A and B are shown apart, each in its own frame.
Chain A
Amino acid sequence: MTSPDISIPSLMLCFFLLVIPLAISYRIKLHISWTTIDAVARMTVQLVLVGVFLTYVFDLNNGALNMAWVLGMVIIASYSTIRNIELKMEKLLLPVILSFIAANLSVLMYFNKFVLDLGNLLEARYLIPIGGMILGNSLKGNIVGMGVFYEDIRRNENRYIYNLSLGASMYEALMPYIRKCLRSALRPTLANIATTGIVFLPGMMTGQILEGASPMLAIKYQISIMIAIYVSTTMSTVFSILSTIHTTFDEYGLVKKEIYREKGKKKENKKRI
């Protein structure tokens, strides 16, 4: 048994459901009608493009092309991590890309080799969706982790500087900040792991069950992927922090002020220690 096809008219009927939130938004002046339409339109266009591209990529199933696709996803994930944390691209993009590659690709390859035991590690229908899941979660973890780290180091710079003055190396003085940021980055993933199966059936499992796979097979995939996600999120956040430190701190061990993008309001200029 495989899932029934969704015809275009059926898809239209699904879009029709949006009338409900739009009506609510209109009635109680929520002012999210336009945002809703915009978001759904974006999603549709993006997915149509991805669908078209993926059809080709899957048909060709060329190892190099599949890898290029994953690398493309890595670059986009790195870019959107930095965009989301209000930091400037130039000093951070390269170290974050390299961290994502090192962390996520190694976990992905390990997964394909030892967990799925694939003959071809670059097989499109495993490499791309599993790579996507791992990357997507790393992205979320990094947004939280890097965001907390750089915000904290700016807000509590006095404490950091004080620890430097006591003779701490940069790593020693940064360790409390690194601990805190990793805890923040990993907490959502851990909560997700702990509630899987009770609160929700994860997307991948749902997909496999819809495709007719046995629930037992689906849960084995789900368990493995959750572990892979946790490991890769941990690794990528650690790598991102450790590698960006080299470009975002100066030779005196101070964070370079120019890495911060100014938000809407002007930040007060703290000069006192």
Chain B
Amino acid sequence: MLSQSCKKYPAATIWPSTCILLVSNLLTYCRYTCVTGQLSTKIAILNLLVLGGLMWNFWKTCFLRLVTSITGLQAFSWLFGFFDEVSAFVRVHTLPVVSVVIIYLFIEYVAYDSTKRLKRSYTNRLKGASIRNLHKDALRIRPPTLRRSDKK
């Protein structure tokens, strides 16, 4: 698995991105510690989650795909520093915030439906084409593991 990962993604692509994410995450942690004067267990756990996510993704050969989700975590971590202000804002302005969320969900639903139709017309156009099995799927296939009963 790891060797496939190395073939697919040169180290030059992986490690700089990893370092940037980790350093910026640690800076968030330091910033929080300096501002509040106390260590945040929650942010430390988020850091561990980011690190764990990175290692897991690297192992699974999906690093680049999930960089975005880690960046999402990173953004959440940044947001965490302002969590009290945000929650206070939501308490004061509950109605407009909830309205925006409901409108957003409605728009997302309409957009999702429209995208689904576009995807269908695209895949229909490709019907009958001699599509090869996707590399991605091939990479996901794990070698069969030997069961305990087989070893005997």
Say if A and B assemble together.
Answer: no
